[in-house]
Structure 1
Amino acid sequence: MKNKNYISKLLFTAFSLLITSFCNAQIADSIKYENGFLHYHEYGSKDLPPIIILTGGPGNSYNQLEGLAETISPKFRSILLEQRGTGKSIPIPFDSTTVNINAVTKDIKTLLDSLKIEKSIILGHSWGGMLAMNFASEFPNNVSHLILVAPGPHKDAKNGFDVLITNCRHTRSFEEEQRLNQLNERIANNEADSLEIIESKKLFRRAYIFANPIPDSIFQKINSDNNSKTSNLLWNDIISNYDVSKSLKKYTGKIDVITGRQDVVGFLSYELKRDIVNAKIHWINECGHFPMYERPTEFYKILYKVLNAA
């Protein structure tokens, strides 16, 4: 009898752990649309408040922010979208008619409708912040709270990116800049080995991280795949057409901006505040473009504070 009771307790414990694990496990799924499938990943219980998480780039893999999605999943239903033109969300045809700002913005609405989510928190990092702002401009009634992490420009994108490129160059020494140019040339000519490719990525990312050299633990988290074709298609559209300085005012909810004080794109948060006065900026010191990985304690303290306040 004692053995039976022991086995019953053991099975019950194992079953409980299995159920708990299942509830918090990642769910990968897709939505059929006219040009293919839109893939997404969920973390956390469906009973929790939803957050749509948008990665940067444009063209970066969803997994660059997977650590963020997993971290907040005990309190929020984190939904990471594989944006159109990234990962497995490749449209047919794959050109400017299917990969543009308008299309990737409507994809977020398609995602919400498919999941039967009427209103959601939208969190975007870098280019994802730009996409989040555009979505709030187009579909303000579907956004409960806008959270922008180290966002790109909200207008005059060409000038903003010109300043960004200059800032990046100034963070590298003359020798580093020469070495990066040399490595990029070797990569373009298919002459670089795997170690040289990693070295080039670290030198390029050097400008975006406060610590020098970049710690391997951080580099591994930010070194995501990038679809260069998607990146080029969206950059062209961004330079020509992206401007939410007036349209974002249609969204009247909370806007919180979390930015590293030493981020090379930090100046863009100041510019956003000038046009969108209700945006509140939260600065993190000794931090670059990836506060969720560079200063996680400070980042999550701010993130949970603004979420709880909302």
Structure 2
Amino acid sequence: MKIPVLLTMLLFCALTGYAQQLDSIRYPNGYLYYHTYGSGTPIIVLSGGPGNSCLQQEEAAIALSKQYRSILLEQRGTGLSVPVPFDSTTINLKAAMDDLNRLLQHLHVKRAVFYGHSWGAMLAMSFAANYPDKVSALVLVDPGYYKFSTDLLTTHVNNLRARLGASDVVLMDSLDKKLEAGHGNKADSALYTRTVRLAYIYNKSLIDSMMVKMNGAKTNLLMQQLMVSDLRRVHYDLSKNLFHYKGPITIISGNQDPLAFYTYELKIIRPDIKLYWIQGAGHFPMFEQQSAFNQQLLSVMSTAVKYP
């Protein structure tokens, strides 16, 4: 490994102050990085997005590390896990699932518990549907789409608009048109993101402190665009194959999450799913109600790790 990369790794560990170990896996298109916290039963931790930094779920990984070995993956196309080339041939759902296989093989783990938030939950479910024998349990937090459809997308957007004040909706629409036309700047983009994010949290007065946590580090928008395009291309629809996975699924969701309807839809597909709700929280209950969330997470995980 080249010295500049090694220095970057060491600096990253020093800055976070929590990662007990940062390691990587060599594969044909580069390195796949992951962080290890704690010891014991391994829990694979997948952040949202797609394209968000793994740091968005670092606090959850640290909470889990009190009793388990948390493996926080820098998904391909985020953080240090930059593939070459960086295009649709390397950023797609199949490649993301291949990386999870690489990770398990590297860790010498045949079956693991997967924790996933939002997009991370989508990826975890996709992996379980395609490799059911490699997943012992799914613990999902505010899962995103279980399939791509115009109706679900419309519900999603309308739920966001319903959770914004009239002036915020006007501002959001105005900025959206400006950015789409290519007339916006970085400040416009940042303000647009902040305005949209207001809809994802319960306590609007916390938006600025929540933004720091939600962003974690800069989102890789190219990764996001490439992955979303691939999900559309493959007609992503877990309702068709999630039944391949017979293991337990537990969902923890914020009561005020505008995406909570996805959780209810999943419950229809898999009636055996166990649901737990966090009051006074939107799409990020681990930030808005950290104490209640961590307590519920550890309680749920104590059952999940018992499955063979």
Q: TM-score, normalised by structure 2?
A: 0.86
Map Cα deviations across residues 232-289 of structure 1 (whole Å, 9 max, x no partner). Answer: 1111222332112132212111100111111010001010011112211111222100
Q: Which of 229, 236, 241 is 1:236 aligned to?
A: 229
Gaps spanning 5+ residues in structure 2: where?
1-17
Q: Deviations over 1:214-236 (max 9, x none)?
A: 34332211123211111111112
* Alpha-carbon shift at residue 290 of structure 1 (Å): 0.5
- Conservation of the 8 A alpha-carbon contact between 1:206 and 1:214: no
SS of residue in 1 equivalent to 2:50 = coil
Q: Counterpart of 1:79?
A: 71
Equivalent pairs, count: 284
Q: Is the 8 A contact 1:50 1:76 kept in 2?
A: yes
Partners of 2:212 and 2:145 lie apart in 1 by 26
Give the SS at the match of 1:95. Answer: coil
| Aligned AA (1:51) | I
One-letter amino acid matched to 2:219: N
Q: CA deviation at 1:133?
A: 0.2
| Contact 1:157/1:238 (8 A) holds in 2 | no
Using the TM superposition, name which of 149-158 and 27-36 deviates more: 149-158
1:86–1:193 Cα change, 3 Å: closer
Unmatched segments (≥5 aa) in structure 1: 1-23
Overall identity of the aligned pairs, in %: 41
Write out aligned runs for 1:184-223 (5 A).
192=185, 198-223=190-215
Secondary structure of the corresponding residue to residue 229 of structure 2 = helix
Maintained 8 Å contact 1:186/1:192: no
- Which is higher, the Rg of structure 1 or of structure 2? 1
The answer to whether the aligner puts 1:256 opposite 2:250 as a matched pair is: yes
C-alpha distance in 2 between matches for 1:40 and 1:309 = 25
Instruction: Write the distance in 2 (CA, Å) between the matches of 1:88 and 1:305.
Output: 32
Instruction: Give the Cα separation in 2 of the matches to 1:183 and 1:156.
Output: 25
Matched to 1:281, the amino acid is L
Taking structure 1 as the reference length, what is the TM-score of the superposition? 0.85
CA distance in 1, matches of 2:259, 2:299: 23
CA distance in 2, matches of 1:158, 1:77: 39
- Structure 2 partner of 1:277: 271
The letter of the residue matching 1:79 is I
The structure 1 residue matched to 2:30, chosen from 21, 25, 36, is: 36
Q: Which AA in structure 1 matches 2:264? A: Y
- 1:100 lines up with 2:98 in the alignment: no
Alpha-carbon separation, structure 2, partners of 1:187 and 1:156: 24
